[in-house]
Amino acid sequence: MAKPRQARFTTADLEGLPELDDESPALWPEGLPDVGRNLLTSAVRCFASNGFHATTTRDISGALGLSPAALYVYFPSKELVLFEIIRAGHQRALEVVTAPDIEAIEDVSEHLRALIAAYTEFHARHHVAARVCQYELAGLTGEHYEEILEIRHRTNAVFRDALARGVDDGTFAPVDVPRVSRAMLSLGIDLVRWYRRDGSDSPEQLGELNGDLALRMVVRHPE
Amino acid sequence: MAKPRQARFTTADLEGLPELDDESPALWPEGLPDVGRNLLTSAVRCFASNGFHATTTRDISGALGLSPAALYVYFPSKELVLFEIIRAGHQRALEVVTAPDIEAIEDVSEHLRALIAAYTEFHARHHVAARVCQYELAGLTGEHYEEILEIRHRTNAVFRDALARGVDDGTFAPVDVPRVSRAMLSLGIDLVRWYRRDGSDSPEQLGELNGDLALRMVVRHPE
Amino acid sequence: MAKPRQARFTTADLEGLPELDDESPALWPEGLPDVGRNLLTSAVRCFASNGFHATTTRDISGALGLSPAALYVYFPSKELVLFEIIRAGHQRALEVVTAPDIEAIEDVSEHLRALIAAYTEFHARHHVAARVCQYELAGLTGEHYEEILEIRHRTNAVFRDALARGVDDGTFAPVDVPRVSRAMLSLGIDLVRWYRRDGSDSPEQLGELNGDLALRMVVRHPE
Amino acid sequence: MAKPRQARFTTADLEGLPELDDESPALWPEGLPDVGRNLLTSAVRCFASNGFHATTTRDISGALGLSPAALYVYFPSKELVLFEIIRAGHQRALEVVTAPDIEAIEDVSEHLRALIAAYTEFHARHHVAARVCQYELAGLTGEHYEEILEIRHRTNAVFRDALARGVDDGTFAPVDVPRVSRAMLSLGIDLVRWYRRDGSDSPEQLGELNGDLALRMVVRHPE
DNA sequence: TATGAATGAGCCTTCATTCAT
DNA sequence: GATGAATGAAGGCTCATTCAT
């Protein structure tokens, strides 16, 4: 039986790679030393390819030419590596949808469209890290999981509010706000399941597409 | 959302349970003995809660009051338990979207709506098994993975074709068929991430909702 | 990694095989039912090919189209199957070297030659069972092992006595009796390591050869 | 003969032992770290006593006060421990019979005598490792088995050639070369079955004895 | 900072054996 | 007599983690 560890999503060596498949390094906190950042990046790829539990500390550190023990110089446990990744990803996603330039948009439709577009774009641009954020929550300890849930709720609320505003003021059709906003989030999130950077969709194009589709979901049909 | 991690999955006797959380038992192949079916059902729950790699054979069999060795009376390996589940789920999903009563629908819009509704309903009804089908593919061996991929392609094609028909005959707006059909699939699939049977949405209601939303995505706006 | 259970010494199915590779069935005790005898024969082949510990009860019974449980109808344990084989083999070997027609030989040289020849012939004829007798003693329990040792001692004594007789009466050179008789036994025993029935040596020819060599070891050189 | 079964192999610390039962440590490859060498030595004893399959990785490492996992720091599998042992043993045996000082012997009889003596001495001196080399071949994978077979063939050829030379030039009686050389090898090999260092035979004495016996097998009888 | 060596805990899997049928 | 189902007890091997260096 072949090792089930084969990476479905091939990632080249980190070394010497001029351009990364995703831009996850941009997510890591400022204070972290370079090796720590590289470890997070390597971990993201491993977790995304094989899942948290199927990834060994040797996988993560080995991709950088380091020994497994090196990981413990920067992180106290494998779980905390996961937590760092998931927290960073969720934090940034929240920042993206609460960015001042988006909140400043007066027009209700354009506001919603911009929200969905930005959210989608974020997930596409960071699809590897985002995949981990969405699919590896079960690897977190209870406490860490709760902490992440809290951020998710706040993020979700942003969408619900934006939609509610348009429904309330009559701009949008009188849709079921929680359910429809949930569907809009699905458009933005589900792409981490299939998105590849080498495909024909740029993060921007995908953001535009989903923004359109979301608006179509709630547009009032002139009778 | 209840915490789906940490505490190992524990379930009361399957036998005693009058109503199951999902209806996955209906998915298992005919020939299989009862104990084998129960093992699959137990495995589905464990995999859905904790992931394939974090689930032990003891978790699966223990939930039925059996020893780990009992699993090997019915399946040659843990991986094959996963494969059986994922194959059954995918097979049935394909059957659902190729059901004669759906294919018989003449009206293009109603056809698409029925497709999305049925697909959504299926995922909601079998959300536990469907979650495994969508998120645990990395646990499969290369060969088994390929086999599943093949079924997925056929399923996806059904949606693409249905949408293309409406675009071609002018019923729908001239949307980008592959991308938009992908978005429609997202609506149906992403719910496995969050759906709970105890929530306020029945599978039927959710199917109706997604059917509506999908049609709204492609409806022609009268100028 | 390939299963290390591959049988080095291929044995055809017992069913329908007109002629057996060795004649071990002839060794089994009279009272035993046919199925029991077949189980012993199958076990001999498995043990000889793969060793006692690497042989499963399923291997033994499966070769006869039976389930593992069938073995326990005839034998109380796997170890006792081994013991039965080893005891039968050793008993018969002792019988061979204490056969009246050999003991009746007056001539000292011819007596020794006949002894070595018969012993060699026996091991060649039953080389599969004899291999188990020589190499799988470690699989026996302490008590059973002691019981076998006792038979071996008696067998060995026969050779030592025959040689001593010739040395004492001056027929043979004044060799070191225990050491040289041990060497003669080596000739007879070691063949179980390499003997194949399909080779060019018949048991009789091999017996003759070893009888000759043994005599050459002790012949007096006329000055 | 001490009971070599039942009670799992237990040895005092290898370190503390001033003199080992056999000299197998001398067989291990140069590059190996001390712990690795000790593991091989411990494994040899376990395999010799109980057989490969009846020996656990805990037996091997436990004798050194190490955990089972320690073995995997030095060897990738239990089978490879066996292979390393068997390869080292066979390699050295070949070196012994192809040593320059033996090949340099002009006299045909003395050459053969020296060959048999050296071969015997080697097996006696390393009787524990040699036992494993002769009796545990079935524990090897197919590939490793083939590799060993190749060395054995070369070793055997040395004896056949030495004997053939004497037969051809008339020094020896016109014996059947393959069969008689096989018998000579039996004298050297079979001792691993019964040799104990505490017995009254030193390796040198045994070598001398077998050298004599071998020559007696082929000496020309003056008519 | 980085690691080689070591391990405790645990996992998947096997298997001799039992027993109700 | 024969077996299918089940299991207790391992066994080989892995891995997150530690620690002396």
How far apart are the C-alpha atoms of D188 and D152, rounded to whole Å? Answer: 14
Residues C44-54 pLDDT 10s: 999 999 999 99
Here the tokens at position B188 are 């149906």
How far apart are the C-alpha atoms of D203 and C121, rounded to whole Å? Answer: 30
Q: With an 8 Å Cβ cutoff, is C48 touching chain D?
A: no
The separation, in Å, between residue C80 CA and nucleotide F11 C1' comes to: 23
Instruction: Say if A and B touch: at least 3 Cβ pairs within 8 Å.
Output: yes
Q: Which residue is nearest to nucleotide F8 (CA to C1')?
A: B67
The separation, in Å, between residue D59 CA and nucleotide F13 C1' comes to: 15
Sort B21 into a burial class: Cβ within 10 Å, 0-12 / 13-18 / 19+.
middle
The separation, in Å, between residue B72 CA and nucleotide E14 C1' comes to: 10
Q: Which residue is nearest to nucleotide F11 (CA to C1')?
A: D56
Q: Which nucleotide is nearest to C35 (CA to C1')?
A: F1
Q: How far is the alpha carbon of D7 from chain C, nearest alpha carbon, in Å?
A: 9
Tell whether the model's pLDDT for residue B2 goes beyond 70.
Answer: no
The nearest alpha carbon in chain C to D136 belongs to C51
Residues 70-99 of C with CB under 7 A from strand F: 70, 72-74
Subunits next to D (3 or more Cβ pairs <8 Å) are C
How far apart are the C-alpha atoms of C35 and B86, rounded to whole Å? Answer: 44
Tell whether the model's pLDDT for residue A10 goes beyond 70.
Answer: no
Yes or no: say if C187 and C120 are a contact pair by the CB < 8 Å rule.
Answer: yes
Question: Are residues D142 and C190, on separate chains, in Cβ contact within 8 Å?
Answer: no
Residues D106-142 pLDDT 10s: 999 999 999 999 999 999 999 999 999 999 999 999 9
Q: Which residue is nearest to nucleotide E9 (CA to C1')?
A: D69
Yes or no: say if A126 and A23 are a contact pair by the CB < 8 Å rule.
Answer: yes
Average pLDDT over residues A112-139: 97
Q: With an 8 Å Cβ cutoff, is C138 touching chain D?
A: yes
Question: Are residues D179 and C187, on separate chains, in Cβ contact within 8 Å?
Answer: no
Question: Are residues B51 and A49, on separate chains, in Cβ contact within 8 Å?
Answer: no
> Does at least one atom of strand E sit less than 7 Å from the CB of A73?
yes
Q: With an 8 Å Cβ cutoff, is A50 touching chain B?
A: yes
Average pLDDT over chain B reads: 90
Residues B54-110 pLDDT 10s: 999 999 999 999 999 999 999 999 999 999 999 999 999 999 999 999 999 999 999
Q: How far is the alpha carbon of A142 from chain B, nearest alpha carbon, in Å?
A: 6
Any alpha helices (H) in chain A, and if so which ranges? Answer: 34-50, 57-62, 68-74, 78-97, 100-103, 108-125, 127-135, 142-168, 177-190, 203-218
How far apart are the C-alpha atoms of D213 and D186, rounded to whole Å? Answer: 12
Chain C residues close to D179, C-beta within 8 Å:
201, 209
> Does at least one atom of strand F sit less than 7 Å from the CB of D73?
no
User: D172 has which bridge partners?
Assistant: D219
**Strand F: which bases are under 7 Å from protein Cβ?**
1-20
Give the pLDDT score at D3.
31
The alpha-carbon radius of gyration of chain C (Å, integer) is 19
Average pLDDT over residues B120-143: 96
Give the pLDDT score at C22.
66
Task: Report the range of poorest mean pLDDT among A24-28, A80-84, C142-146, D189-193.
Answer: A24-28
Yes or no: say if C82 and C47 are a contact pair by the CB < 8 Å rule.
Answer: yes
Q: Which nucleotide is nearest to A75 (CA to C1')?
A: F17
Residues D33-63 pLDDT 10s: 999 999 999 999 999 999 999 999 999 999 9
Closest to B55 in 3D by CA, of B40, B70, B45 = B45
How far apart are the C-alpha atoms of A85 and A139, rounded to whole Å? Answer: 12
Give the pLDDT score at D25.
87
∠ at Cα B213 (B208, B214), nearest 5°? 100
CB crowding D54-85: b at 16 or more within 10 Å, else e? bbebebbbbbbebeeebbeebbeebbbbbbbb
Provide CB contacts within 8 A for D216, sequence distance 6+.
C216, C217, C218, C219
CATH of region B86-218, choose from 3.30.230.10, 1.25.40.10, 3.40.50.2020, 1.10.357.10: 1.10.357.10
∠ at Cα A90 (A89, A93), nearest 5°? 90
Long-range contacts, stretch B142-149, CB < 8 angstroms, 24+ apart:
B142/A2, B142/A6, B143/A2, B144/B79, B144/B83, B144/B86, B144/B87, B145/A8, B147/B87, B148/B86, B148/B87, B148/B90
Yes or no: say if D167 and D109 are a contact pair by the CB < 8 Å rule.
Answer: no
| Entry field: residues in chain A | 223
Closest to C129 in 3D by CA, of C78, C181, C84 = C84
How far apart are the C-alpha atoms of D14 and C40, rounded to whole Å? Answer: 41
CA dihedral of residues A101, A104, A110, A116 (deg, nearest 10):
50
Please state the separation of Cα C27 from the chain's center in Å.
Answer: 10
Residues D8-36 pLDDT 10s: 333 333 333 333 566 888 999 998 999 99
Give the pLDDT score at B216.
96
How far apart are the C-alpha atoms of A115 and A97, rounded to whole Å? Answer: 6
Q: Which residue is nearest to nucleotide E5 (CA to C1')?
A: D73
CA B125 vs CA A34, B69, B122, B132, D88: distances in Å? 47, 31, 5, 14, 63
CA C219 vs CA C97, C175, C213, C222, D167: distances in Å? 21, 10, 10, 9, 20
Provide CB contacts within 8 A for C69, sequence distance 6+.
C61
The separation, in Å, between residue D136 CA and nucleotide F3 C1' comes to: 35
> Does at least one atom of strand E sit less than 7 Å from the CB of A7?
no
Residues A186-197 pLDDT 10s: 999 999 999 998
- Confidence label for B199 from pLDDT (cuts 50, 70 and 90): confident
The nearest alpha carbon in chain A to B46 belongs to A138
Yes or no: say if D187 and D116 are a contact pair by the CB < 8 Å rule.
Answer: yes
Here the tokens at position B164 are 């293309």
How far apart are the C-alpha atoms of D78 and D59, rounded to whole Å? Answer: 11
Give the pLDDT score at A80.
98
CATH classification (class only), C17-78:
mainly alpha
The separation, in Å, between residue A60 CA and nucleotide F17 C1' comes to: 15
Q: With an 8 Å Cβ cutoff, is D55 touching chain C?
A: no
Give the pLDDT score at D200.
82
CA A56 vs CA A47, A53, A81, A131, B6: distances in Å? 9, 8, 12, 18, 19
Q: How far is the alpha carbon of B8 from chain A, nearest alpha carbon, in Å?
A: 11
Tell whether the model's pLDDT for residue D1 goes beyond 50.
Answer: no
How far apart are the C-alpha atoms of B217 and A216, rounded to whole Å? Answer: 5
Q: Domain-by-domain residue ranges, chain A?
A: 17-78, 86-218
Give the pLDDT score at D91.
97
How far apart are the C-alpha atoms of C155 and C87, rounded to whole Å? Answer: 13
Q: How far is the alpha carbon of A221 from chain B, nearest alpha carbon, in Å?
A: 7
Substitution target from B134, B190, B192 for chain A, most A beta carbons within 10 A: B190
Provide CB contacts within 8 A for A142, sequence distance 6+.
B3, B5, B6
Average pLDDT over residues D145-165: 97
Amino acid at residue number B208: E
Q: How far is the alpha carbon of B120 from chain A, nearest alpha carbon, in Å?
A: 12
Tell whether the model's pLDDT for residue D7 goes beyond 60.
Answer: no
Q: How far is the alpha carbon of C31 from chain D, nearest alpha carbon, in Å?
A: 30
Here the tokens at position D22 are 């056999």
Full-model pTM: 0.90
How far apart are the C-alpha atoms of D191 and D112, rounded to whole Å? Answer: 19
Task: Report the range of poorest mean pLDDT among A115-119, B165-169, D14-18, D157-161.
Answer: D14-18
Provide CB contacts within 8 A for D193, sequence distance 6+.
C134, C189, D131
Helix (H) or strand (E) holding A136: none
The nearest alpha carbon in chain C to D173 belongs to C216
> Does at least one atom of strand E sit less than 7 Å from the CB of C72?
yes
Q: With an 8 Å Cβ cutoff, is B204 touching chain A?
A: no
Amino acid at residue number A119: Y
Residues A43-67 pLDDT 10s: 999 999 999 999 999 999 999 999 9
How far apart are the C-alpha atoms of A85 and A91, rounded to whole Å? Answer: 10
> Does at least one atom of strand F sit less than 7 Å from the CB of D68?
yes
User: C219 has which bridge partners?
Assistant: C172
> Does at least one atom of strand E sit less than 7 Å from the CB of A61?
yes
The separation, in Å, between residue C124 CA and nucleotide F14 C1' comes to: 46
% of chain A at pLDDT higher than 70: 89
CA dihedral of residues B144, B146, B151, B156 (deg, nearest 10):
140
> Does at least one atom of strand E sit less than 7 Å from the CB of D65?
yes
Tell whether the model's pLDDT for residue A156 goes beyond 50.
Answer: yes
Which of C2, C142, C218 is the closest to D6 by Cβ? C142
Q: With an 8 Å Cβ cutoff, is B152 touching chain A?
A: no
The nearest alpha carbon in chain A to B4 belongs to A138
Residues of chain C with pLDDT under 50: 1-19
